[in-house]
């Protein structure tokens, strides 16, 4: 049973006339009559009987007609959905990002994207680079903003940001504008969870400065880490971006080493992005690079 045969059958049933149905379908009347006979032969039943110049649907045709119309309606709906998808009228895209980007950069960017493409549903996952790479590999996110470099993914570099030491405004170091890494040996650190690139960068920085950090709190998310740092529990290393809009914290630059991270937008090479994901990818590249 071919879809075109169902279309031909439904049109003839509606018009009760082969010539008028052929005109609607933009095919020749003899060709339509031939295809009807092929379809009836395939089914092993007569779908119409001729009454004068008019075709009258048979009992077998009456049984088939609601199925044919339901199938054609579903096909039309599917075609419309794909047309809307291609035109970005509908769609869904999932993006992952570290908390700083999710809090400070994505709200306005995603709001503007939504204003341009109202029918696209957005989904956000906040996590560290390790977890985001896992989500991307599993197909749980289409795109992710992560710290570079990373392997085995397609990537567009976005921007670099400075990492600073964040301390409470009442901390003994709060009056300092800059600090050398070795001077932090006497201070306690607040660390991010396993899988966060900032955790590994902090540990590597301390070891390069010649000491193993004394950890007072291990495993807090960004907001938690900043809150504990603000009440003086310890110091932490964060992107300067993370301190925008926060109260009770001071940023201190590290003077003897250039400490920064580069963020990029990544996606899987072997997976074709949907039109919605492709549109968001280009939108974020343009926005976040700017």
Mean predicted confidence (pLDDT) in 182-195: 93
Instruction: Tell me the two tokens of residue 239.
Output: 């992107």
Task: Give the pLDDT confidence of 237-255 residue by residue, as tens digits.
Answer: 999 999 988 899 999 999 9
Q: Is the dihedral of CA 107, 113, 115, 121 positive or negative?
A: negative
Q: Are 191 and 236 in contact (CB under 8 A)?
A: yes
To which residue do tokens 């710290």 refer? 147
Task: Give the pLDDT confidence of 197-241 residue by residue, as tens digits.
Answer: 899 999 999 999 999 999 999 988 899 999 999 999 999 999 999
Q: How many CA atoms lie within 13 Å of 169's alpha carbon, on the beta-carbon side?
A: 5
Q: Which domains does the chain have, with CATH numbers?
A: 3-86 (1.10.10.10), 91-157+263-289 (3.40.190.10), 160-261 (3.40.190.290)
Residue 206, SS3 per DSSP = helix
To which residue do tokens 């405004």 refer? 169
pLDDT at 80: 78
Average predicted confidence (pLDDT) for the chain:
93
Residues 6+ apart with CB under 8 A from 229: 166, 167, 168, 190, 235, 236, 249
Q: Are 251 and 243 in contact (CB under 8 A)?
A: yes
Distance of CA 45 to the CA centre of its chain: 51
């Amino acid at each position: 049973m071919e879809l075109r045969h169902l279309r031909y059958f439904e049109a003839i049933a509606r018009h009760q006339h082969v010539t008028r149905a052929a005109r609607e379908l933009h095919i020749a009347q003899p060709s339509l009559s031939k295809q009807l006979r092929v379809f009836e032969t395939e089914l092993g039943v007569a779908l119409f009987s001729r009454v004068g110049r008019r075709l009258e649907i048979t009992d077998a045709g009456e049984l088939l007609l609601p199925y044919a119309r339901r199938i054609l309606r579903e096909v039309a709906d599917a075609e419309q959905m794909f047309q809307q998808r291609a035109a970005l009228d509908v769609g869904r895209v999932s993006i992952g990002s570290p908390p700083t980007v999710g809090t400070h950069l994505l709200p306005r960017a995603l709001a503007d994207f939504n204003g341009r493409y109202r029918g696209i549903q957005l989904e956000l996952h906040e996590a560290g680079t390790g977890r985001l790479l896992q989500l991307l590999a599993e197909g749980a996110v289409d795109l992710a903003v992560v710290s570079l470099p990373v392997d085995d993914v397609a990537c567009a570099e976005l921007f670099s940001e400075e990492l600073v030491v964040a301390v409470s405004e009442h901390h003994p170091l709060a009056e300092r504008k800059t600090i050398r890494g070795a001077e932090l040996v006497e201070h306690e650190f607040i660390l991010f969870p396993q899988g966060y690139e900032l955790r590994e960068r902090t540990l590597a920085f301390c070891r390069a400065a010649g000491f193993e950090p004394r950890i007072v709190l291990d495993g807090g998310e960004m907001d938690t880490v900043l809150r504990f740092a603000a009440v003086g529990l310890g110091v932490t290393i964060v992107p300067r971006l993370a301190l925008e809009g926060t109260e009770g914290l001071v940023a201190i630059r590290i003077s003897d080493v250039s400490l920064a991270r580069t963020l990029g937008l990544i996606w899987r090479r072997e997976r074709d992005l949907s039109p919605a994901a492709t549109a968001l990818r280009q939108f974020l590249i343009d926005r976040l690079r700017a």
